[in-house]
Amino acid sequence: MQLQLDSQFFMSIVFLGFVGLLCRLYTSLVENPNRLRSKLMKQGISGPPPTILLGNIVDIKKARSTTSNSPSFEIPVSHNCASVILPLFDKWKEQYGQVFMFSLGNRQILCVSQPDIVRDITTCTSLDLGKPSYQQKQLGPLLGQGVLTSNGTTWVHQRKILAPELYMEKVKGMMNIISESAISLLNLWKSRTEAEGGVADIKIDEYMRNFSGDVISRACFGSNYSKGEEIFLKLGALQEIMSWKNVSIGIPGMRYLPTKTNREAWKLEKEVKKLILQGVKERKETSFEKHLLQMVLEGARNSNTSQEAIDRFIVDNCKNIYLAGYETTAVAATWCLMLLASNQNWHDRVRTEVLEICRGSIPDFNMLCKMKQLTMVIHESLRLYPPVAVVSRQAFKDMKFGNIDVPKGFNLWIMVVTLHTDPDIWGDDANKFNPERFANGTIGACKLPHMYMPFGVGPRVCLGQNLAMVELKMLVALILSKFTFSLSPRYVHSPTLRLLIEPEHGVHLLVKKL
């Protein structure tokens, strides 16, 4: 009898636990999302109806799979990148307006392209608006999750570790590293062209990654830069796992399941952490100039937190350096060279400028600053193919932007790639390559300058933008001073969105030594 009572009691506990779990799931997946959405619906904001559990994930994946099967073998004339990589968002914008909402799993997102609201979001300095929690939880293995708060040089929810003017001094101190890395690439291309009869058909993507990776590796790890290369290789594998190809990461609880993808990500995360901390230890034991890694170490040293928190701070910021200083720069350089290769007029104009300014010498910082034509081309390239497609933020409290009351917990998305080619902002030639629009700088390039944000805009602008611009100018200037190039017949124009906007099949150039 007692055994039967114990069994009944146990089954009752299991049943109650199961009911409690169902209630909790209902609250998380249905009640809370509906409550948040209803607050915006009362303000006249709508969007595509979501399904339980998946939200609009299936629609997004279906739209992406449809467009990814239609690459172009012709030299691109129109560069409407948004319609290729995120076609459904253009459709939703037309259907629901400049402000609409959609769902990724139980994650509620407000997509914004209305200029005044974009300005309010991008200029907001409140810590109630910050990095989305889903990025910290799901992309944390790649992007890093937190920073320390010490001596006024860091922000909570952000990754700023040094004032911009001080960071520029660091960049100037890296000019030799940048030029040496670029010259190494030139020597490889020289060997290729000579070995292939004067003209080489080169897929440039890996060369761009090797260049930017070499810069960051040398800046962080000095003579032991091979450590940085190994870290970047593993972070690249993590980037592939965490990319938009795996939209299912938005499904609630998916990141906790021991799937093959998750197990691989967990393994890579541990290996990256171990390699970074080993590299930091070895770097501390030698004397070195104050470059990128030193900035991170100084921020950690001035804190009064635990060693575990300091290690996490160092690892997270090294991951952010990878994305901002390595992969982003490499992808931007790839698109820039593609555009120069397909626009011979600008190819020749920029070369003429480079030769006049440098007169056969390696450009220094002041020379790079004088290269107006090159700067215009880089800005136009970043407009048409911004490395990051979306700027995302989360409201940690109820907030107001423009005339919209955004409830706590909602994520805000600014579709950079869409804003950069909006005819209402950039004119009828918004999808055309026209660097002349930047003749008066970024301020005079369009009707609403704050809508140009390849590195973000406002107080949360990417700290690495100065390094990226110097790297791009140095690399492109040196290439143009030594080579002429055009698009190869093997080039297939097919932009795709992983974590960054990349050429799915790479960029092939016909390269000839001058």
DSSP per residue over 55-77, as a string? BTHHHHHHHHHHHTT--B-SPPS
Residue 94: both structure tokens together? 């037309």
With beta carbons less than 8 A apart as the criterion, state whether 177 and 218 touch.
Answer: yes
Which DSSP symbol is given to 317?
H
**Strand ranges across the sheet with 390-395:** 99-104, 107-112, 411-415, 390-395, 129-130
With beta carbons less than 8 A apart as the criterion, state whether 241 and 261 touch.
Answer: yes
Which element (helix H / strand E) includes 487?
A: strand 483-487
- Per-residue CA distances from 199 to 271, 347, 403 (Å): 41, 17, 58
Amino acid at 72: S
Side-chain-facing half-sphere of 162: CA atoms under 13 Å:
24
**Is position 462 annotated in a ligand binding site?**
yes
Token pair 């090797």 in the structure block, residue: 210
Q: Which is it for strands 107-112 and 411-415: parallel, antiparallel or unpaired? A: parallel
Token pair 């880089």 in the structure block, residue: 378
Residue 278: both structure tokens together? 């080993």
- Per-residue CA distances from 20 to 15, 26, 35, 255, 256 (Å): 9, 10, 20, 22, 20
Quick one: CA dihedral 245, 246, 248, 250, positive or negative? negative
Beta-carbon count within 10 A of 392 CB:
14
Beta-carbon count within 10 A of 463 CB:
22
- Burial class for 13, CB neighbours closer than 10 Å (0-12, 13-18, 19+): exposed
With beta carbons less than 8 A apart as the criterion, state whether 79 and 32 touch.
Answer: no
Binding residues for heme: 462
Binding residues: 462
